Amino acid sequence: MAWMCLRAACAAVVLSVMAPAQAASPADTLVVAQALDDIVSLDPAEGFELSSVQVFNSLYQRLVQADPEHPEHLAPTLASSWQAAPNGRSIVFELKAGARFAGGHPVRPEDVIFSLSRAVKLNRSPAFILGELGWTPANVEGLLRRVDDRHVRVAWTAGVGPGFALNVLTAPVASIVDQTEVSPRQAGGDSGNDWLHTHSAGSGPFRIRRYLPHEALVLDANADCPTGAPHLAHLIIRNVADAASRRLLVEVGDADIARDLGPDQIAALQTSETVKTVEFPSAVLHYLMFNAANPANPVLRNPALWEAARWLVDYDALAGKLLKGQYQVHQAFLADGFPGALETKPYYLDVARAKAILAKGGVPPGVTIRLDVFNQPPFPEIAQALQASFAQAGIHLQIQPLVASEVYARTRTRSMEAVWLYWIQDYFDAHSTASAFASNRDDGSKTVAWRAGWQIPGLTVLTQQAVAQGDPARRQELYRSLQAEVQQASPYVFALQERARVVMRRNVQGYRQGLNADMVYYDRVSK
Amino acid sequence: MASQDDALPVGDGFGIRMRRSGVLLARGALRLVVTVCGLLTLTFSLSSLSPIDPVLRVVGDHASRQTYEEARHRLGLDESWPLQLMHFGARIVRADLGVSQTTGQPVRSDLATALPATLELATLAMLASAVLGLSLAFLTAARPGGLLDAATRVFSMIGNSMPAFWLGLVLLYVFYARLHWAGSPGRLDDAFEYTVDHHSGLVLVDAWLSGIPGAVSSAVQHLVLPVIVLAIGVTGKVARMVRAALLGEMGRDYVTLARAKGAGTARILLRHVLPNISGVVLTVLALAYASLLEGAVLTETVFAWPGLGRYLTTALFAADTPAILGATLVIGICFVILNELTDRLISATDARLA
């Protein structure tokens, strides 16, 4: 009997292995293959990693959000309208009539106050964004007030205008959370943070059905979403760490969308009849930075080195030949496509000019600089290209490939000499990037300028003036002049801007993605 | 009929054996405690030498000095190193491994998911390797220098030299993408993966318990390729090492005597030689199993298998100290237990050590 059972089991195994495996995602489900290992928390007050930020638009909504089609314009979302106070220090929002959370509870002014104040009080990684409004754990509740059943007043103490405040409120950290659903799940005064790590309580087009860390995030459609129910019933984001495996999944049809494929993989799929590659703008900028505060290598403080470096990067070869069109040349700190971005590209590879600048600036030939880079493609390849072009001017770049966490650690402690990094802005306002690159208040806020050891009291004041400027046109003008100054005289060399390429099955329609990391929209996807 | 005097030594023998077992068990437990303490102290010391600031990992780049200090205090990093180690040890005793900074989950619950996933993969690969490797070892030892021997040598060389991630991708391309015989990377098809509840963490068991038609078949299809990739690497080693041990015994007097008495090669190998090399066989299998438990990271990455190797690697790259220490603890305990079990099995099967 036991022998018969064993034989039956063996036969079942053989038959199941020989049977054709399923090779299509379910018709009502969108399956996305990407790396999810970076997710720390799915609480919008805490999550600040790429994968969690990319999913917040599917789970939560803010009072106002960037219009998916025209991100430079604000779209009413949970607020149907708003009115700024004459003094420019507060806004009254009218909540959308009949708006409900996925759990069925109505969206109330109390939810707005609870959500924004809990984000400030929890004080996790993204809380600094709301801190730009002068909100602190001590004062935030006093600045948020219920006016009536449908109106809420949001005030701030920082010297910024309503335009900037509205942009700050579009950040995922300002997502509105269902207080009625979260309150019973609070533990030890955590405002539901522990529960929200793996659950959702928002009004977005989807809600979390199941989250398996390192495995998958499974979402179900929210039919009551105030901006309309999504077209598909389920969204599964699968953690597939290996890019080659992601490519196979989308080719075969077990995944509908694959993210972050390498240039070679995308090139190989160009002739595929089953998948297409769609290109989206991305605000990710790549730049070289020298650390002027490093006492071990005095040449790093020499502006002649910074100036010469701008003429020692072969921008076109990097973007075109080496990185196969996944990047475009961009030489200013605001990404192309962003309101107020400087589009001029004055620099190109000119070794003779760089040599002259170095000689005039007193930089001796044969100088050695240690260059830290991430040890993952394409960074070592970029570093080798830089090494070759810098060597032509007598500068020896000693490449140090390091794991990402070590690159960040060395940069944060200013122990690097030079580093190739990328920048993703934290929220959709020019101040997010300007305050990092053109402001060094030396008050403990470790901006990029601080990490570069760049002392810029004048630019720091200008940056503050720009954020306080109420007139949008004048504000953009101020940012253009800031970019021009940084482009010409800083220890940074802005070189490349990413183009996000997403591979998807040909039957997938309606996927939208914007400049910022959080601007990923699955609600209009059909297949 | 046995006299009272005859019975006494039997009773004493039983008591002696019980006492000996007790002593052995106590020694084993002591070895486990000492090894785990040493391992954790070493890992904890190495983690503290890391240049990566775990506080920044928690509070982010933009945190104020006050937030930074609060988080540092909350994590206990403002204490002296010996105090940190002592508190860490006290938490371990309470089975509290802390919270992973990369998943935001308690390390204990992360490990409860990752360990069964790896155990399932490694055990199935080990079983496949043991059956295939031992069969090849006996067949090639019976005819050394034959065609099968040469083929096994080549297979072993390929298994040892071929990178697991490359082999995995090739197998996926052929059997999943082209022939559609095997499942995709992952543990189940999308139709089942998120409807099958995780009771045991073992996908075969959970799929079977779910009762959903087709779930077990899907689990098997997804297991086949990663098991093959892991087994190929181990089978060659098992076959070559056991073959060498078998051939080493074939020139001994007792084998010559058995031949003279008319025993065939198969009988000599199985009845006479195998009991004498059981220690070698068990040691080879135990070492192979141990390497599968912690060394399957590349296979787990290619096949999107949420196992222990990938969990530890992700934690290492992120300097996630609680996760690193938790995974190290589990792997260390697995090694010690495996070692003890192997020693006991060798003692039980080798008459010279009994």
Mutation site for B-interface testing, chosen from A32, A36, A245, A427 by largest number of B Cβ within 10 Å: A245
Pick A254's closest partner by Cβ from B53, B190, B317.
B190
Distance, CA of A334 to CA of A342 (rounded, Å): 7
Query: Residue type for A205, please?
Result: P
Distance, CA of A57 to CA of A514 (rounded, Å): 12
- For residue B182, the distance in angstroms to the closest alpha carbon of chain A comes to 6
Spatial CA neighbour of B120 closest among B249, B347, B307, B254: B307
Mutation site for A-interface testing, chosen from B52, B55, B184, B197 by largest number of A Cβ within 10 Å: B184
Out of A3-12, B26-35, B57-66, give the one with best mean pLDDT: B26-35
What are the phi and psi torsion angles at B89 (to 5°)?
A: -60, -40
In order, the DSSP letters of A387-430 are HHHHHTTTEEEEEEEE-HHHHHHHHHTT--SEEEEEE--SSSSH
Instruction: Characterize the bridge pairing of strands A79-84 and A90-95.
Output: antiparallel
Question: Cβ(A45)–Cβ(A122) under 8 Å?
Answer: yes
Beta pairing partners, A91: A84, A154
Pick B185's closest partner by Cβ from A13, A245, A412.
A245
Distance, CA of B44 to CA of B84 (rounded, Å): 9
Spatial CA neighbour of A255 closest among A523, A479, A507: A507
Chain A residues whose CB is inside 8 A of the B196 CB are none
Pick A31's closest partner by Cβ from B173, B180, B190.
B190
- For residue A406, the distance in angstroms to the closest alpha carbon of chain B comes to 6
Determine whether the interchain pair A26/B57 forms a contact, defined as Cβ–Cβ distance below 8 Å.
no
Distance, CA of B28 to CA of B157 (rounded, Å): 36
Of the ranges B39-53, B253-267, B322-336, which one carries the lowest mean pLDDT score? B39-53
Chain B residues whose CB is inside 8 A of the A408 CB are 52, 56
Determine whether the interchain pair A213/B113 forms a contact, defined as Cβ–Cβ distance below 8 Å.
yes
Helix pair angle (A457-468, A430-437), 10° resolution: 170
Chain A residues whose CB is inside 8 A of the B311 CB are 214
Pick B182's closest partner by Cβ from A21, A244, A249.
A21
Q: Is A47 helix (H, G, I), strand (E, B) or coil?
A: coil
| A81 CB neighbour count, 10 Å cutoff | 12
Question: Is the backbone peptide bond immediately before A378 cis, with ω within 30 degrees of 0?
Answer: yes
Q: Report the pLDDT value the prediction gives residue A455, as an integer from 0 to 100.
A: 93
Distance, CA of A215 to CA of B305 (rounded, Å): 8
Q: What 8-state DSSP symbol labels residue B55?
A: H
Mutation site for A-interface testing, chosen from B190, B197, B317, B324 by largest number of A Cβ within 10 Å: B190
Distance, CA of A413 to CA of A310 (rounded, Å): 25
Closest alpha carbon within chain B to A211: B194
Can you give the length of chain A in residues? 527
Question: Cβ(A292)–Cβ(A301) under 8 Å?
Answer: yes
Chain B residues whose CB is inside 8 A of the A20 CB are 180-181
Helix ranges (DSSP H) in A236-323? 243-252, 263-268, 303-310, 315-316
The size of the A-B interface in CB pairs under 8 A is: 168
Question: What mean pLDDT do residues B228-256 have?
Answer: 89
Chain A residues whose CB is inside 8 A of the B193 CB are 216, 236
Mutation site for A-interface testing, chosen from B48, B49, B62, B74 by largest number of A Cβ within 10 Å: B62
Q: What is the pLDDT along chain A (527 residues), one digit of tens a residue?
A: 445 554 555 555 554 444 555 557 889 999 999 988 888 889 999 988 889 999 999 999 999 999 988 888 899 999 999 999 999 899 999 999 999 999 999 999 999 999 999 999 998 888 889 999 999 999 999 999 999 999 999 999 998 989 999 999 999 999 999 999 999 999 888 899 999 999 999 999 999 999 988 889 999 999 999 999 999 999 999 999 888 999 999 999 999 999 989 888 888 898 899 999 999 989 999 999 999 999 999 999 999 999 999 999 999 999 988 888 889 999 999 999 888 999 999 999 999 999 999 999 999 999 999 999 988 778 999 999 999 999 999 999 999 998 777 788 788 889 999 999 999 888 889 999 999 999 998 766 778 999 999 999 999 999 999 998 888 899 999 999 999 999 999 999 999 999 899 999 999 999 999 999 899 999 999 99
pLDDT at B295 over 90: no
* Tokens linked to A209: 């059905």
| A476 CB neighbour count, 10 Å cutoff | 17
Task: Name the strand (E) or helix (H) holding A404.
Answer: helix A404-412
Chain B residues whose CB is inside 8 A of the A444 CB are 64-65
Please report the domains of chain A, with CATH numbers, ordered by start residue.
2-37+214-279+500-521 (3.40.190.10), 64-181 (3.90.76.10), 285-498 (3.10.105.10)
Can you give the length of chain B in residues? 354
Chain B residues whose CB is inside 8 A of the A443 CB are none
Pick B65's closest partner by Cβ from A23, A244, A444.
A444
Determine whether the interchain pair A241/B310 forms a contact, defined as Cβ–Cβ distance below 8 Å.
yes
Closest alpha carbon within chain A to B109: A213
**Tens-digit pLDDT profile for residues B315-336:** 887 778 889 889 988 888 888 8
Spatial CA neighbour of A365 closest among A294, A315, A408, A305: A305
Chain B residues whose CB is inside 8 A of the A245 CB are 169, 172, 185, 302-304
Instruction: Characterize the bridge pairing of strands A418-423 and A367-374.
Output: parallel
Instruction: Characterize the bridge pairing of strands A257-258 and A29-34.
Output: parallel
What are the phi and psi torsion angles at A213 (to 5°)?
A: -50, 140
Question: Cβ(A29)–Cβ(A233) under 8 Å?
Answer: yes
Question: Cβ(A153)–Cβ(A130) under 8 Å?
Answer: no
- For residue A116, the distance in angstroms to the closest alpha carbon of chain B comes to 18
Q: Report the pLDDT value the prediction gives residue A380, as an integer from 0 to 100.
A: 92
Determine whether the interchain pair A19/B217 forms a contact, defined as Cβ–Cβ distance below 8 Å.
yes
- Helix/strand/coil (H, E, C) string of A28-71? CEEEEEECCCCCCCCCCCCCCCHHHHHHHHHHCCCCEEECCCCC
Determine whether the interchain pair A213/B193 forms a contact, defined as Cβ–Cβ distance below 8 Å.
no
Beta pairing partners, A370: A398
Chain A residues whose CB is inside 8 A of the B221 CB are 16-17, 19, 21
- For residue B140, the distance in angstroms to the closest alpha carbon of chain A comes to 27
